[in-house]
Homo-oligomer: A and B are copies of this chain.
Amino acid sequence: MMELQEAKQQFIDTWGALGSEWGINKSVAQVHALLLSASNPMATDEIMEKLVISRGNANMSIRQLVDYGIVYKKHIAGDRKEYFVAEKDVLKWAMKIAVMRKQKELDPVMDILREISKNTEKDKTDEGKEFHKTVKDIQVLTDQLETIANKLFNTSGGDFLLKLVKLMI
């Protein structure tokens, strides 16, 4: 059996690397993994120490996770420090991250695609018609994918599995 602390470290490293590849800051992903793998709330100092990162970095990373709504502040009586806990319900935080990234990065692009699609609709040249079709196709596919995502995600945890089963028929 693997040493537990070793397994946790591997989880943190893997999570950090995955984040980097998908445009999520390595430290942010690592703090998230550290809190996910911790049994107790952690204060900034402990996070700095465990991940060997600066106070500034720790503070910024924690704040981002709290802003995302996937890490919560936890006050501990008789202690002046702020402590943090990760949302442990995987579906809950996966949804929050997905919704947040969609709103921030995908929605503006989809708006522009719709606009381009609309603005090239009347073009009667072959070149114009061809380009319009290309943009329209992308726009239609992303709309479809969005519909799937909404159907799957705008739902409580139990329904998720149910919809999944329906999907597999």
Contacts and interface: CB of A to CB of B under 8 A. Distances in A.
Given A1-B119, A1-B120, A94-B141, 6 more contacts: A23-B23, A39-B130, A144-B160, A144-B164, A147-B164, A151-B168
A63 to B, nearest CB: 20
Q: Which 5 A-B pairs have the closest CB atoms?
A: A2-B119, A90-B137, A21-B105, A18-B109, A14-B112
Contacts of A14: 109, 112-113
Copies in the complex: 2
Contact of A2 (B8, B116, B126): B116
A128 B4 contact: yes
Interface residues of A, number: 55
A166 interface: yes
Contact of A134 (B37, B138, B169): B37
| Chain A interface, DSSP helix/strand/loop, else mixed | helix
Nearest to A86: B134
A130 to B, nearest CB: 5
Interface of A: 1-2, 4, 7-8, 10-11, 14, 17-18, 21-23, 36-37, 39, 88, 90-91, 94, 105-106, 109, 112-113, 116, 119-120, 122-123, 125-128, 130-131, 134-135, 137-138, 140-141, 144, 147-148, 151-152, 160-161, 163-164, 166-169
Contacts of A167: 148, 151-152, 163, 166-167
A114 to B, nearest CB: 11
Given A39-B130, A148-B167, A169-B166, A141 B91 contact: yes
